Chain A
Amino acid sequence: MEKRVTFQGWLLPLCLITPQVVISAVFFFYPAAQAVWQSLYLPDPFGLSSRFVGMGNFEYLLSDPYYRTAIGTTAVFSGLVTLVSMVPALFLAVLADRLIKGAGTYRTLLIWPYAVAPAVAGVLWLFMFNTRIGVVAWYLGQLGYDWNHVLNGAEAMGLVVVASSWGRISYNFLFFFAALQAVPRSVIEAAAIDGARFWRRFFTIVLPLLSPTTFFLLVVNVVYAFFETFGVIHTITSGGPQQATTILVYKVYADGFVGQDLGSSSAQSVILLIIVGLLTVLQFKVIEKRVHY
C-alpha cells in the first residue's frame, strides 16, 4: 500500500530517517554482523588472538551434550509456559465474557500482573517457594511434601514455568477477552435456539471462532518464553540445578559473559537469530491470516 500524494524533495526525508538508520546501524546491524563474524572464529584461551574455524563452533555446539540439553530444556520450558499461561487465561476470559456487569472490574484487577517485570515476578515466586522461609513451601512441608527447587531439577523447572506464566496470563486474558467480545451475539443465540448448551456451544462454535487469536497467542507466547524470561530464570535458579533450567538465551549469557567463551556464545546467538527469523516469519503469516479474519 502506498500513498498517492507525496511531498517533493529528497534531502528532508533523508534527514528525517537518519536518526533511526544511524541507531539501527550502530546498535543493531553492526553487532548482529559482529555476532555472525565471531561465530566463525575461535579465540585462544587468553583472548589475544583468534583463528578462523568456519562452521567449527557450530559443529562443536551441536555435538555438545550441554547445548543439546539446553535445546531440550528450552522446548519443554516454552511448551509448558505457553500451556500454563494460555489455558487459565482462556478459562478466565470465558467466565468474564459471561458476565454483563463487573467484567470490566475483573479485567482491571487481572491486568496487574502484566505490569510486573519478569525479574520482579521471579523474586515474588522465589519468596513464596523459598526453601527456608517460603510460605507455600512451608505449607507443602506441613502436608508432607518436601519442596526443594534448589536441589530438585523438576521442581525448579516447575517454579520458573509458573513464575514466567503468571504475568502472561494477564496478557493472554486481554486478547481472549477481546476476541470473545467480538464473537457476534447472533451466532451464539442462533446456536442456543438450535438447542446447544453452554459447553457444547463453547467447543463447537466459540472455540473455532477463537482459533486465529489462539494461534497468534501461541506464537507470541513461544517468542516470550524463548527471549523474555531471562529475568525469571536469573532471579530464581540461575539456570540450575545442574543446568535443569538453562534455556538457550540463558546459555548465551552464561557462556558469553560468565564463561567468556565468545566463539561459542556468538554461534549460539546466530542459531537464536535463525530461530527468531523463523518465528517472525510464522508470526507474519499468522497476522496476515488474522487480517482476513
Chain B
Amino acid sequence: MTARAETSARRSDPAPGMVEKRGSALWLTHVAMILGVLVVFFPIWLAFVASTVSQPEIARPPMPLLPGDRFLENYQKALFSGVNVPVAVMLFNSLVMATGIAVGKIVISILSAFAIVYFRFPARSLFFWLIFLTLMLPVEVRIVPTYEVVARFGMLNTYGGLIFPLIASATATFLFRQFFLTIPDELAEAARVDGAGPMRFFWDIVLPMSRTNIAALFVILFIYGWNQYLWPLLVTTDPAMNTIVMGLKQMFPSGDDIADWPVIMATSILAMIPPVIVVISMQKLFIRGLVDSEK
C-alpha cells in the first residue's frame, strides 16, 4: 500500500498518448474541478467573511459574501476576551493536548514496537495481542467507565486527563512494527558486530531510520488530537481548560440570546488554522502517513 502513496510521482512523464485531453474537454474538466473546489470551500469562505463583518450585518440576512473591515476587531476580541474564556487560552490548551497526544503516543509506541520486534521475552505474544486488542475500541465507546477512571485519579480538568486515555491505542505501535519488520536483519547484525547494544542500535540506527514515519505519524496524530471533541467536553468542566474545538460550542448562548457570530466565526477560523497549516505544509508526509496508517 505504500506504493500507492508514491504513485503520484510515478506519472511524472506526461505521455503524449494520454487519451482525450485536448481542447474543450480539457477546459471543461478545469471548470468542473474549479466548481467542485468552490463548493467544497464555500463553508470556509463564508466563515471567514463572517469573521470580518459586524454582528448587525449578519443578523440581517442575507449577510454579505465579501469580507468586511472588522477583521482585527473581531479576532482581537476572540483571542483576548472570547465568550467564556479568551480563545488564546483555548488555543494553548489545544496545542498542549494535540502535541501531548502525538508525542506521547509516538514515544510509547516506538518503544514497545522495538521491544516486540527485536526481542524474545516471556509473554511477548500475550503483550502483543493485548496491545493489538486496543486497536478495536474508540474512546467514544467506553466513555463512561473511562471518565470514572480519570475522575478517580483526580485528572479531570488536567492535561493528563485529556491526553492519556487518547493514547491508549495501538495504531502507532502497529505501524512501527510494520516498519521495523522491513529493516533488513543484516543492519542489526552489522550493529552487533560493530559493538552496539540494543539501546545504542535503537538510538543510532532505528530512530534515525524512522524519521519519516515519525514525522508522518506526528502529523496524523496532531490533527487527531486537535480535533477531539467528545472527550474534552467530558473532562474539562473548567472553561480555562477548554480546548478550542469543544470550546467553540460553549460559545453559543443557551436560550434565545443571539450568538456573537463574528467572534464565533473568528474562533472557527482560528480552530482550523493550525491543523490546516500542518496538513498543507506537510502534505506529502501527511498523505503518506494517512495512507500508511490505514494499512
A–B: direct contact at CB < 8 Å:
yes
A positions within 8 Å CB-CB of B: 1, 3-7, 9-10, 12-14, 16-17, 19-21, 23-24, 26-32, 34-35, 38, 88, 91-92, 95-96, 98-100, 102, 104, 106-121, 123-125, 127-128, 132-135, 137-139, 166, 169-171, 174-175, 177-179, 181-182, 185, 188-189, 192, 197-198, 216, 220, 227-228, 230-231, 234-235, 249, 252-253, 256-257, 262, 265-266, 269, 272-273, 276-277, 280, 287, 290-291
Query: B194: CB under 8 A from chain A?
Result: no
What's the nearest-Cβ distance from chain B to residue A43, in Å?
12
Contacts beyond the supplied A127-B261, A178-B291, A230-B230: 10 A-B pairs with Cβ under 8 Å: A6-B120, A16-B115, A31-B142, A32-B137, A127-B265, A135-B63, A198-B20, A253-B140, A272-B141, A277-B136
With A and B bound together, what is the CA distance between A88 and B58 in angstroms?
Answer: 30
Closest to A171 in B: B290
Which of B69-77, B79-87, B241-249 lines the interface with chain A? B241-249
Do B62 and A139 have beta carbons less than 8 Å apart? yes
Do B41 and A112 have beta carbons less than 8 Å apart? yes
Do B173 and A20 have beta carbons less than 8 Å apart? yes
With A and B bound together, what is the CA distance between A30 and B165 in angstroms?
Answer: 11
Query: B223: CB under 8 A from chain A?
Result: yes
With A and B bound together, what is the CA distance between A99 and B27 in angstroms?
Answer: 10
Do A116 and B199 have beta carbons less than 8 Å apart? no
- Using Cβ atoms and an 8 Å threshold, which residues of chain B touch A38? 144-145
- Using Cβ atoms and an 8 Å threshold, which residues of chain B touch A117? 226-229, 245, 271-272, 275
29 cross-chain CB contacts under 8 A? A5-B118, A5-B185, A5-B189, A6-B119, A7-B197, A7-B198, A20-B173, A23-B108, A24-B134, A26-B168, A29-B130, A99-B26, A112-B40, A112-B280, A115-B223, A119-B248, A119-B249, A133-B58, A170-B40, A175-B291, A177-B8, A185-B15, A198-B20, A230-B140, A249-B141, A257-B147, A272-B140, A276-B141, A287-B294
- Using Cβ atoms and an 8 Å threshold, which residues of chain B touch A181? 4, 7-8, 10-11
**Chain B 181-194: CB-based contact to A (< 8 A → 1; otherwise 0):** 10001001100100
Query: B66: CB under 8 A from chain A?
Result: no
Given known A99-B33, A277-B136, contact A31–B146 (CB-CB < 8 A): yes
- Using Cβ atoms and an 8 Å threshold, which residues of chain B touch A114? 279
Do B62 and A265 have beta carbons less than 8 Å apart? no
Given known A1-B181, A92-B33, A127-B47, contact A19–B108 (CB-CB < 8 A): yes
Do B138 and A227 have beta carbons less than 8 Å apart? yes
- Using Cβ atoms and an 8 Å threshold, which residues of chain A touch B124? 13
Interface residues on B, range: 35 or more
With A and B bound together, what is the CA distance between A100 and B17 in angstroms?
Answer: 12
- Using Cβ atoms and an 8 Å threshold, which residues of chain B touch A24? 130-131, 134, 168, 170
Do A174 and B108 have beta carbons less than 8 Å apart? no
Query: B103: CB under 8 A from chain A?
Result: no
With A and B bound together, what is the CA distance between A175 and B293 in angstroms?
Answer: 12
- Using Cβ atoms and an 8 Å threshold, which residues of chain A touch B290? 171, 174
With A and B bound together, what is the CA distance between A7 and B189 in angstroms?
Answer: 10
Do B61 and A134 have beta carbons less than 8 Å apart? yes
**CB contact between A111 and one of B58, B261, B279 (< 8 Å): that residue:** B279
Closest to B164 in A: A27
With A and B bound together, what is the CA distance between A135 and B26 in angstroms?
Answer: 33
What's the nearest-Cβ distance from chain B to residue A45, in Å?
17
What's the nearest-Cβ distance from chain B to residue A10, in Å?
4
- Using Cβ atoms and an 8 Å threshold, which residues of chain A touch B62? 135, 138-139
**Chain B 137-161: CB-based contact to A (< 8 A → 1; otherwise 0):** 1101111111111100000000000
What's the nearest-Cβ distance from chain B to residue A289, in Å?
11
Closest to B198 in A: A7
